[in-house]
Amino acid sequence: MTGEGPLRSPDQCLRCGAPLQSMGIEDFRVGGNTGGWKLLFGEWAELGEGLLRLEVFACGTCHKVELRVPQP
């Protein structure tokens, strides 16, 4: 991998290089149906829905957010 800049620590912001703060692990809903399907079918509309666990990191300098798969 030639021509790339210096490697950054995983605890640094990809944009500005400032330290990132972990905001914890959140569950994000993926799949399922939205809108009128929920109204028509109720809980049946959520049969294909699942949860994706991601760790949220925030940069206090540029106010960007990064999502990562949590380490076991």
Domain range enclosing 24? 20-68
In a domain, 35, yes or no: yes
Tell me the per-residue pLDDT of 29-46, one tens digit each, with 9 for 90 and over: 887 666 666 666 666 666
Q: Is 23 helix (H, G, I), strand (E, B) or coil?
A: strand
Select from 50, 55, 51 the least CA-distant residue to 71: 55
In a domain, 24, yes or no: yes
More confident residue, 26 or 31: 26
> What is the spatial distance between Cα 44 and Cα 72, in angstroms, rounded to a whole number?
32
Using pLDDT thresholds of 50, 70 and 90, give the confidence band for residue 3.
low
pTM: predicted TM-score of the whole model, two decimal places: 0.68
Number of domains the chain contains: 1
In a domain, 44, yes or no: yes
